[in-house]
Structure 1
């Protein structure tokens, strides 16, 4: 069985064209594939959905604040889990402080 040659990486121009065809011109994946030699509709859809779609989302100030809060909550919960694994001797904040100290943060 012959090996397929590796696909060329997507260029910035490919990405820009893909976003334009999908978001501005509202083409189907089959129609979009006609603009790309050697790329299937499925491959283009995967590229768009996993790498490009999120770039076109507008973040409001509220969205950014919610992200900060979610990360703060995650950080707090993460250190609680770490302290539980260390045993009752160490609190979450003590574990966080020691970790930052040994990592030079």
Structure 2
């Protein structure tokens, strides 16, 4: 039980340091790009509800799916140098199954 208490106290200390770092204005001056990216990613799920345009939401979803497929292909083929067709197979299978289920 005492070990759990030590872990909890360590966690509280780290959280206090983290909050102190976030309250420091210098943090935002040094990390402007990171803060901007965090704001974009935190507001990203709200955008479809604000837009209300079905076509734009559909277009954003398709663009994100293709971006994930491209990142998987880049990771497999670019960095590791391995030819892996599994990500393409899974993406194609998911697309085929979704088309069958929705029509």
Structure 2 length-normalised TM = 0.33
Indicate the structure with greater helix content: 2
Determine which structure has more spread, i.e. the larger CA radius of gyration.
1
**TM-score for the superposition, normalised by structure 1:** 0.32
Looking at both structures, which has the greater relative contact order when contacts are Cα pairs under 8 Å and sequence separation is at least 6? 1
